[in-house]
């Protein structure tokens, strides 16, 4: 991936950090975006930690749920936004509760962050990719898009929406050298999963044939595979990585 520029949303999170590192290991120049509720100091600390490990990432603030914030990101990136080759739409949140108790904010925040973000981040760069006749777009969905999950009507709906977006856009840009794919991770050991009650996690692990949670690097390696120049014939697909928990 030498000479390629990648942008990873949620690049400072569990899976995001590993994606940044793996893309960088493959030679890509990586821009990581962060939210951190505007805590820029904590983002700078992440950047410094990465530097100690030999990674030199550029970091930019963005709220992917907010169209104007994404517009501002691309203004801040200036000409750099015109040569993004690889876009990883990875940022996401949960706000789990049974539907009978779910309030409008829980619904809206999850849909805005997990699904509207794909419009907010992809629309500003797609025409540059089209004019350069090259692009790799990878959207991070979830096992629970297709399986459904108690307490996740909002999350499952948002992540299922990603599949429709991926397939429709893949068709529109296939002839322009751009691929659009989805990865659907199962339960991966990050903050997002670790905030579930311990006894519920134990039950979930019991449903995973491989017998453990996944690791962020097991997703990041797949991202690199799809992001490679050599993967140009794979588009509109969904790569399932869930330890056998739900097979289609
Ligand atoms: N199926 C059927 N019933 C269930 C259930 C399930 N899977 N889970 C809970 N229930 C029932 C309980 O048995 C209980 O029933 P009673 O009231 O009759 O006893 C009732 O629902 C309430 O259960 P809780 O006490 O757990 O309710 P709560 O309000 O405290 O918690 C919850 C609800 C937050 C949804 C909790 O059940 C939970 O955290 N579940 C796990 C959700 C999950 O898997 N989230 C994934 C987050 S990580 C992620 O999303 C990444 C990814 O992509 C994989
Ligand atoms: P995580 O560590 O909580 O990372 C989520 C990332 O999303 C964070 O880096 C966060 O940024 C970013 N984010 C949240 N809201 C944002 C917003 N409004 N604007 C910009 N960025 C925002 O969880 P993760 O497990 O790595 O999740 C990464 C992706 O994988 C998510 O889309 C998630 O749904 C998906 N996924 C996870 C699992 C799993 O089991 N862990 C399974 C399937 C799919 P900051 O840290 O900067 O705030």
pLDDT of residue 97: 98
Q: How many whole angstroms from 101 Cα to the centroid of ligand 1?
A: 12
pLDDT of residue 144: 98
Q: Ligand 1: does its nearest atom lie under 6 Å from the Cβ of 152?
A: yes
Buried b (16+ CB within 10 A) or exposed e, 26-58: bebbbbbbbbeeeeeeebeebbeebeeeebebe
Q: Ligand 1: does its nearest atom lie under 6 Å from the Cβ of 102?
A: no
- Mind listing the pLDDT tens digit of every residue in the chain (248 residues)? 999 999 999 999 999 999 999 999 999 999 999 999 999 999 999 999 999 999 999 999 999 999 999 999 999 999 888 899 999 999 999 999 999 999 999 999 999 999 999 999 999 999 999 999 999 999 999 999 999 999 999 999 999 999 999 999 999 999 999 999 999 999 999 999 999 999 999 999 999 999 999 999 999 999 999 999 999 999 999 999 999 999 98
pLDDT of residue 194: 96
pLDDT of residue 158: 99
pLDDT of residue 12: 98
Sign of CA dihedral 38, 40, 45, 47: positive
Note the pTM of the prediction, 2 decimals: 0.97
Q: How many whole angstroms from 89 Cα to the centroid of ligand 2?
A: 10
- Beta sheet of 58-61, edge-to-edge order: 58-61, 29-34, 5-8, 86-89, 135-140, 178-185, 238-241
pLDDT of residue 5: 98
Q: How many whole angstroms from 98 Cα to the centroid of ligand 1?
A: 7
Q: Ligand 2: does its nearest atom lie under 6 Å from the Cβ of 65?
A: yes
Q: Where are the domains of the chain?
A: 5-241
pLDDT of residue 82: 83
pLDDT of residue 81: 85
Q: Ligand 2: does its nearest atom lie under 6 Å from the Cβ of 63?
A: yes
pLDDT of residue 90: 99
- Cα–Cα distance list, 139 to 37, 160, 206 (Å): 22, 11, 27
If DSSP codes are grouped into helix, strand and coil, which group holds residue 227? helix
C-alpha angle 48-54-56 in degrees, rounded to nearest 5: 60
Which CATH number, 3.40.50.720, 3.90.1150.10, 3.30.110.70, 3.40.50.300, labels domain 5-241?
A: 3.40.50.720
Index of the ligand 2 atom closest to the CA of residue 144? 43
């Amino acid at each position: 991936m030498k000479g390629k520029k990648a942008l990873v949303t949620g690049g400072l999170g569990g899976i995001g950090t590993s994606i940044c590192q793996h893309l960088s290991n493959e030679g890509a120049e990586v821009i990581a975006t962060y939210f951190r509720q505007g805590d820029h100091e904590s983002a700078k600390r992440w950047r410094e930690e990465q530097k100690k490990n030999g990674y030199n990432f550029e970091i930019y603030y963005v709220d992917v749920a907010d169209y104007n914030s994404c517009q501002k990101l691309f203004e801040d990136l200036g000409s750099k936004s015109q040569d993004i080759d690889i876009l990883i739409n990875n940022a996401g949140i949960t706000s789990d509760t049974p539907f009978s108790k779910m309030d409008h904010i829980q619904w809206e925040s999850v849909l805005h962050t997990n699904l509207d973000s794909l419009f907010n981040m992809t629309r500003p760069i797609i025409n540059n990719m089209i004019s350069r006749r090259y692009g790799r777009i990878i959207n991070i969905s979830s096992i629970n898009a297709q399986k459904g999950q108690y307490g996740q009507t909002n999350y499952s709906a948002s992540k299922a929406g990603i599949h429709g977006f991926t397939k429709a856009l893949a068709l529109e840009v296939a002839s322009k050298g751009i691929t659009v794919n989805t990865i659907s991770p199962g339960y991966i050991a990050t903050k997002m999963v670790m905030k579930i009650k311990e006894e519920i996690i134990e039950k979930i692990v019991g449903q995973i044939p491989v017998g453990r949670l996944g690791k962020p690097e097991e997703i990041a390696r797949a991202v690199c595979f799809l992001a490679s120049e050599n993967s140009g014939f794979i588009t509109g697909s969904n790569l399932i990585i869930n330890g056998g928990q739900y097979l289609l």
